Structures are given as C-alpha cells and as structure tokens.
C-alpha cells in the first residue's frame, strides 16, 4: 500500500494543511526544523529507533538512534552558542558526508542560526565567494579541508571561528581554528530551542546563474511542510523503510530529502561516504537492505555502464521503490532499471529555488519513460510562451516551465540580491529557467535550459564563474565556456580560449589550465576539453557569442549571425 493513494483524488482534495495537521503545527506556532526532525520523533516514542547508518572509508561504520540525533544536535547547538553564535548568524558546513554534517545541520537550526552547507570538493575561490557573500560567522570543517579556509581567511573579516571536527593534535591549531569532538563532548540533554517561526531563515544554499556570481537561495523553516509531504507521497517512505538518498547535503537534495524529509517522518537513513563504484553501491544496499533509493541520472547511467551482470551478484530484493533527481532521466535508464531491479526509477523535477519536488512521477501512476511526470498536488505548473509569458494551452508545444508562487518550500529571495530574485517572476508566474512540453495527458517532457547554465551530473555550473577563473591563468587572454554533450553526465564543461603572447597551445598547457580550475573552483567546474582559438566569436558590441560555440558542440543550427562582428 502506498502513501499517495489516487493521484487525481489527492489533487482534488489537496491542502497544505494536510501536512500541518500531521506535523501538529498551527499557524503562528514555533516551527523549528531541528526540533521537528529529532526531539519530536523521540516524543512520539521512537527515541530508540535507528535514525542513521553511516559507512565511511576503510569500512568504518557508525549507527545513531533518534535519541542520539537529539543529543548530538543539542551538543553541537550548545557548543556553537558558547562561541557566540546567535540566531540568524550563518554557519557553514564544509566537510565530507560525515555524521557531524547531518547532525550539525540540525544543531545549527536548533539555535536559530542559518545552515550554509557547501560541497566539500569546492576549491578555495568557490568557497571564498560563497562565504564572503553570506557574511559567514563560523565554518565547521575537517583537517583535510581547513587549508582551503586558511588560504582565504584574510579576505573574510566576518569569519570568526574555524571548527575542526577531527582534530588529532598532531599539528598546532592555526588562526581562528578550534577543535570540537562530538564523541568527546558531554551530551547536552536539554537545549533551549530557539523559537523560530514559519518565516524564520533556515538554510542558505548556493546556485549558479548565467551571469554574475553564485546566488544564495534563502529558505525558511516553513519549507518543512512541503518537504514532509512530498517525501511521504512521492518517495513513499514508510515506518520500516531503510532509505538511501545518495545526494551530498552540500546540495539541496541532500538536505531537503537526505535529512529533513526522512527524519521528519522518523525514517532510518543510510549514508555512504566513499567514492562511487557499482560494486560498493550494490554491496552497501545489500548489506543495509535498502528499500527506498533516491539517486541521480548520472549515477544511474554509470551503473548501466557497469553492466547487468554487476547487479546479479547482489541480493537487492529489499528494494521496493526508486526515484531520480537532478537532471533529465532518459527513457533508456527508466527501462533498464525496470529490467534489472524489477522496478523503474521515477523521475522528479525541482530546483534549489523551489526547495521541494514540483513535477513528479508517483507510485501507482502510469509511467511514461523519459517524462518528468505531473505537477505535485497543490502545485500549479504551466508552460509559458517565451514571448508573451502567457500559458500555452495546446499540447506538445514547447515553452518555459513556470509555477504559481506560494508553495511552502519556495525560496524567499536571493541573499542580498532581491533585484535578481524579482527577475524570476513574469505575469505572476515563477520561471524555472527550463523549457518543456506538456502532452495531452498532462505529463511534462524536458527540453533543455533556457539559459547557458551547464548541468553536469545534476550540478549547475555557471559559465561566467569558470570564464572568470580561466582569465586568472597567466596563459589565457579570453575565454568562453559552454556545455558539451557527454554520455554519462549529459553535459560537461568545455572551454574555448585565446592565449596571451608568449604562450603556445599544447596538451601540457591544457592539463595545466584544467588543474588550475579544478583547484580554484571544483572538479565539477573543470573543463573536460579546452579548444584554442585565434579569436572568439563576438557581436559588434564586443559580447562573446556563446550561442555559436554551443551550437557547434551540439550540431545545432547556428541561427541569426547578423550581429556577429566583421572579419
């Protein structure tokens, strides 16, 4: 029996008050996600239930009950308060998928501070941009990443504390560093939970745009209403499930559905903090009897590449439901998963800005492989004409994906950038920045981005950010960055550069430039190919025409070139 019931019935009788009642929340009440995901679950009689099964490198394993989660998040919150962290202060979590990351998010929220999770593979410049923009007061990290923070510390006057969770005493602590061991700390039984309300700031996730620096997406505690209900109905989480969301909490999926959704339902999550391989993933699922698996198309395509035989070596009979997020899930992957796992991956569509699922396939709903499904109950989704921004009523006509504002998890603004936030709305609709069609049955079919942002493996990469970093390399005079097709990641970064006098194009230089970007930004932002040009295509006003370079890579029509500068 699934949680969703009949999709049509749910749509007809829908109200967000369904989630409010189940969470025992009334308008105006205190609403603190940290408390709802730990203390509340304990109060419901589940204190001794396993909340998290964690496995790290070298086969290290740890397990935590919901009472452990309550105590540990209290302890982290108490420690942060002792350092002078107050409500609304931004606290960054910059670490691998350690237990302290998951417990730390709740601890930060419990004291009314704002959690700012960042992907641990970010280089120093990507880290700097996000910490500076947020005015971050403290960062929780580990030894291996502390050097990146030290490198940019003199440019971050607001950063007061660098908290190291795995300090071993072998090297002296450096400027502003402080050691904190969760295991050696005295558990805090009672913490005064800060009385956050529905609209209190909870999370700051960063996302990339076409131009300018990454934008901080401001979420509030009321987002839990959306996250709870979508987790229950779409991921269909039930009391005895063992749930694995493969996303890193540095990205929004890893918080909305890796922490908040399952823990607000009192469901056991499992976390694998090792590198990807088909065997290690299947082994992890077999060992922990994973029953619900939420992953990304890139990972699914990588598993397809590993072959059907790899699956047969493991007992995955506990799996009962699979879902996907982050980028388009191609029909082949849906069909393949149905063949090898006995059930298809159900695609879900949403964004950092939406905070929760918007277009979804549901358990029990007819699946059309390659489709994103239909709008979640309570979400009004349309396709808009790109010229008039009016809804398109005829089926299968491409347009812009748009949503009627007002769902609980919707971002409240971009941090210190309300001007850009306002550009996301036209004619009363929120524009998602993607293009799609809707068929005669109401199913959405993804076409592509409506801008130049590159979606590589489900992670959005700003061409502007990579181009800016490329220009800091001594050899690069000009740069342009576009998406290039890729079999596994769908898209990867490709850079076109012109060189400064005195530098010669070569494979060695290409590797040096690639490595420069990897260290400065992240492995995801690193170009997978660099093409040297004598000059970049530009308009007469001097603007680089990325569109021409993109068309070249994808074998598309070049279109109007009347504004191209003369040779």
Residue 565 lies inside a defined structural domain of this protein:
no
Segment 22-50 mean pLDDT: 98
Q: Does the pLDDT of residue 542 top 90, yes or no? A: no
pLDDT in tens, 250-297: 999 999 999 999 999 999 999 999 989 999 999 999 999 999 999 999
Q: What is the pTM of this model?
A: 0.89
Q: Does the pLDDT of residue 419 top 60, yes or no? A: yes
Q: What's the confidence (pLDDT) of residue 330?
A: 87
The pLDDT confidence band at residue 554, using thresholds 50, 70 and 90, is: confident
- Give the domain CATH number at 227: 3.40.50.12780
Q: What's the confidence (pLDDT) of residue 558?
A: 67
- Indicate whether 458 and 432 sit together in one domain: no
The pLDDT confidence band at residue 241, using thresholds 50, 70 and 90, is: very high
Q: Does the pLDDT of residue 555 top 90, yes or no? A: no
Residue 175 lies inside a defined structural domain of this protein:
yes
- Indicate whether 70 and 145 sit together in one domain: yes
Q: What's the confidence (pLDDT) of residue 210?
A: 63
Angle at 309 between CA 305 and CA 312, to 5 degrees: 125
The answer to whether residues 140 and 67 touch, using CB atoms and an 8 Å cutoff, is no
Q: What's the confidence (pLDDT) of residue 564?
A: 54
Residue 224 lies inside a defined structural domain of this protein:
yes
Q: What's the confidence (pLDDT) of residue 211?
A: 64
The pLDDT confidence band at residue 72, using thresholds 50, 70 and 90, is: very high
Domain of 341?
A: 7-436
The pLDDT confidence band at residue 562, using thresholds 50, 70 and 90, is: very low
The answer to whether residues 220 and 201 touch, using CB atoms and an 8 Å cutoff, is yes
CA-based end-to-end distance of the chain: 67
Residue 432 lies inside a defined structural domain of this protein:
yes
The pLDDT confidence band at residue 468, using thresholds 50, 70 and 90, is: confident
User: Of 192-201, 203-212, 489-498, 516-525, which range is least confident?
Assistant: 203-212
pLDDT in tens, 75-98: 999 999 999 999 999 999 999 999
- Indicate whether 37 and 121 sit together in one domain: yes
- Indicate whether 196 and 281 sit together in one domain: yes
Q: What's the confidence (pLDDT) of residue 563?
A: 47
Residue 160 lies inside a defined structural domain of this protein:
yes
- Indicate whether 218 and 270 sit together in one domain: yes
pLDDT in tens, 328-379: 888 999 999 999 999 999 999 999 999 999 999 989 899 999 999 999 999 9
The tally of domains found in the chain comes to 2
The pLDDT confidence band at residue 3, using thresholds 50, 70 and 90, is: confident
- Indicate whether 478 and 402 sit together in one domain: no
The answer to whether residues 127 and 151 touch, using CB atoms and an 8 Å cutoff, is no
- Indicate whether 428 and 458 sit together in one domain: no
Segment 208-225 mean pLDDT: 88
Q: Quickly count: other Cβ atoms within 10 Å of residue 288's Cβ.
A: 17
User: Of 99-108, 174-183, 456-465, which range is least confident?
Assistant: 456-465
Pull the structure tokens for residue 558: 């070049």
Q: Does the pLDDT of residue 559 top 80, yes or no? A: no
- 407-417: string of b/e by CB count within 10 Å (b at 16+)? bbbbbbbbbeb
- Indicate whether 145 and 242 sit together in one domain: yes
Residue 564 lies inside a defined structural domain of this protein:
no
- Give the domain CATH number at 485: 3.30.300.30
d(CA 519, CA 341) in angstroms, rounded, equals 38
pLDDT in tens, 374-394: 999 999 999 999 999 999 999
Q: What's the confidence (pLDDT) of residue 462?
A: 82
Q: What's the confidence (pLDDT) of residue 567?
A: 44
Which of 519, 526, 495 shows the shortest CA–CA distance to 127? 519
Q: What's the confidence (pLDDT) of residue 1?
A: 63
To the nearest whole number, what is the mean pLDDT of the chain?
93
The pLDDT confidence band at residue 452, using thresholds 50, 70 and 90, is: confident
Q: What's the confidence (pLDDT) of residue 546?
A: 81
DSSP 324-386: E-SS---HHHHHHHHHHHSSPEEEEE--TTT-S--EE--TTSPP-TT--BEEPTT--EEEE-T
d(CA 410, CA 197) in angstroms, rounded, equals 16
Q: Does the pLDDT of residue 59 top 50, yes or no? A: yes
């Amino acid at each position: 029996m699934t949680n969703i019931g009949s999709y049509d019935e749910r749509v007809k009788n829908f109200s967000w008050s369904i989630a409010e009642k189940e969470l025992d929340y009334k308008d105006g009440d205190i609403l603190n996600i940290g408390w709802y995901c730990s203390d509340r679950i304990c109060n419901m009689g589940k204190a001794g239930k396993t909340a998290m099964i964690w496995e790290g490198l070298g086969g290290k394993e740890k397990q935590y009950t919901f009472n452990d989660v309550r105590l540990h998040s209290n302890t982290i919150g108490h420690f942060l308060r002792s350092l002078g962290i107050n409500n609304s202060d931004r606290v960054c979590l910059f670490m691998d998928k350690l237990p302290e990351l998951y417990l730390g998010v709740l601890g930060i929220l419990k004291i009314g501070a704002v959690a700012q999770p960042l992907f641990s593979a970010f280089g120093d410049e990507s880290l700097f941009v996000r910490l500076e923009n947020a005015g971050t007061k403290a960062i929780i990290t580990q030894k291996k990443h502390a050097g990146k923070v030290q490198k940019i510390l003199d440019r971050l006057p607001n950063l007061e504390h660098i908290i190291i969770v795995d300090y071993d005493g072998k090297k002296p602590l450096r400027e502003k560093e402080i050691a904190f061991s969760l295991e050696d700390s005295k558990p805090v039984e009672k913490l005064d939970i800060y009385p956050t309300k529905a609209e209190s700031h909870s999370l700051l996730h960063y996302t990339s745009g076409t131009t300018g620096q990454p934008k901080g997406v401001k979420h509030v505690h009321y987002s839990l209403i959306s996250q709870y209900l979508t987790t229950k109905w779409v991921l269909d989480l039930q009391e005895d499930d063992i749930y694995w969301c493969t996303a890193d909490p540095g990205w929004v999926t890893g918080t909305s559905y890796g922490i908040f959704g399952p823990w607000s339902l009192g469901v056991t999550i499992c976390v694998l903090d090792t590198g990807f391989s088909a065997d290690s993933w299947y082994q992890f699922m077999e060992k922990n009897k994973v029953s619900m698996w939420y992953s990304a198309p890139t990972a699914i395509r990588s598993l397809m590449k590993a072959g059907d035989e790899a699956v047969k070596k493991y007992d995955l009979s506990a799996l009962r439901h699979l879902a996907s997020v982050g980028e388009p899930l191609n029909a082949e992957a849906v069909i393949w998963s149905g063949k090898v796992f006995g059930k298809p991956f159900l695609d879900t569509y949403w964004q950092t800005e939406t905070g929760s699922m918007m277009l979804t396939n549901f358990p029990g709903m007819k699946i059309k492989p390659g489709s994103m499904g239909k709008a979640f109950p309570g979400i009004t989704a349309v396709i808009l004409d790109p010229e008039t921004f009016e809804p398109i009523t005829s089926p299968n006509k491409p347009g812009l994906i748009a949503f009627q504002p007002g769902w609980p998890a919707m971002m409240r603004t971009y941090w210190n950038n309300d001007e850009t936030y306002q550009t996301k709305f036209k004619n009363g609709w929120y524009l998602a920045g993607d293009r799609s069609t809707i068929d005669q049955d109401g199913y959405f079919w993804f076409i592509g981005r409506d801008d130049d942002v590159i979606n590589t493996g489900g992670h959005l990469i700003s061409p502007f950010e990579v181009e800016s970093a490329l220009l800091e390399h001594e050899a690069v005079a000009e740069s342009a960055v576009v998406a290039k097709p890729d079999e596994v990641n769908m898209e990867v970064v490709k850079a076109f550069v012109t060189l400064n006098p005195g530098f010669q194009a070569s494979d060695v230089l290409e590797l040096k430039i690639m490595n420069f970007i990897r260290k400065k930004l992240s492995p995801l932002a690193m170009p997978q190919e660099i093409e040297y040009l004598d000059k970049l295509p530009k308009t007469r006003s001097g603007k680089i025409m990325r569109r021409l370079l993109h068309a070249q890579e994808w074998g598309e029509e070049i279109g109007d070139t009347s504004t191209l500068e003369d040779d």
